[in-house]
Amino acid sequence: MTKKKLILILSVIIAVAYSCKDQNKENSQMKSVMAVHDEVMPKMGTIGKLVSQLDEKITNDASSDDYVAAREELKAAHKAMMDWMKGFGDRFDGDEILNGKALTEEKQKWLDEEEAKVNALKDQINSSIKQAEDLLQSN
């Protein structure tokens, strides 16, 4: 084997190895984003229950400003989740989300953005639920 062929073969092997490493990073990042989604999605039911409880308090309490504010935070968190899911679904197809299909450079940038968005969304959902639960328990 000539030196030129050996260098070419090694170059191809190295390129494939780095490509697989990048693909694994994408797969793991996509799985991480979906894990956050899967963690907060069941909380949509909790948000609905809390909104109902707050609605009842608002109806029965003349000084309901705190209840109204907590309800609006919950509704905003719910809307943010729905908007995020729609936007995420518009950016990525099922193979990319579920099967680890390789992402283009642009889509990798989008995934970085979506990871930041879903983590902020998680914080918004959790804090709105905590605020509402604390308010309902204190009164």
Q: Is 104 left (phi over 0), alpha (psi -120 to 50) or beta?
A: beta
pLDDT tens across 22-56, in order?
A: 555 557 899 999 999 999 999 999 999 999 999 99
What is the structure's pLDDT at 139?
A: 75
What is the structure's pLDDT at 43?
A: 96
What is the structure's pLDDT at 27?
A: 78
Task: Report which residue type is found at 88.
Answer: F
Q: How far apart are CA 102 and CA 19, in angstroms?
A: 10
Is the full-model pTM beyond 0.85? no
Is 77:50 a contact under the CB 8 Å cutoff? Answer: no
Other Cβ atoms within 10 Å of 116 Cβ, number:
11
